[in-house]
Structure 1
């Protein structure tokens, strides 16, 4: 049996690393879609996919359409504890998840006015609480979006 380590774009702008895989991953690999992922899994996965869309959407007000139509054309979910190659931004969600990345060296510092998010711009690394609404509020998402926007993530 082959382990599936990533779901989504071959060259994603943003990769979200998580410690567990969703249900129906083998089917999702064939045709990745956020609707299919949410339908095959719990509300927990809907929250994860929604937060990924809120951060990655080029237009903050259009995150629902982006989630439902374009998310996996621009992002990826990865489950292995190693950063993917390429020019992606790497988002590791959760302190326990970060511990899996044994050999990852970084110089992540807290975002101004948002101490729960740490960034290493040189390594294109975001370290956040686990992607759940209780830990990543809309205010925190806005801080992340501002930081990424200042680095031309959204093509500005």
Structure 2
């Protein structure tokens, strides 16, 4: 099982490891169940996914708890899906798994640890953890995605 979430997500987050209870979650993706069945580490990942993808920056909690996996996905295979949405690869070691990935991602001037390739709809960041993706960094990511219509529903 390499995929959890919406069939056509606006954003797919690629991670190198799977959460506990994945088999049960694949059939009925639920952020609350995912967080309950796993460590605080997964709460951080799910929360950062919600903070970046929520249509309203201040409404991320409700979005995370009610709609996250209707609009996003988690993928554990080192190959980009055919989804027309954005693809988020978190972490340098994780990015190294994508050996065939050809991209032209450029660092954000305000936040050089984050890079985007709008043509490939690719977002490259440090691993999704609060220490590396602070609220300030999340704000820069949201600002970088906005011009590409990411938050228009």
Following TM superposition, where does structure 1 have runs of at least 4 consecutive aligned residues deviating by more than 3 angstroms? none
User: Unmatched 5+ residue regions in structure 2?
Assistant: none
Q: 1: distance between equivalents of 2:128 and 2:63?
A: 18
Matched with 2:22 is: 25
1:38 aligns with 2:35: yes
Once the two structures are superposed, residues 18-55 of structure 1 have per-residue CA deviations (whole angstroms, 9 ceiling, x without a partner) of 00000000000121000000000000000000000000
| 1:1-156 correspondence runs (5 A) | 4-155=1-152
Q: 1: distance between equivalents of 2:38 and 2:66?
A: 18
Shift of residue 115, structure 1, vs aligned partner:
0.2
The alignment's C-alpha RMSD in Å is: 0.8
Shift of residue 112, structure 1, vs aligned partner:
1.5
Once the two structures are superposed, residues 63-87 of structure 1 have per-residue CA deviations (whole angstroms, 9 ceiling, x without a partner) of 0000000000000000000000021
SS at match of 2:67: helix
Q: 2: distance between equivalents of 1:68 and 1:22?
A: 17
TM-score, length-normalised on structure 2? Answer: 0.99
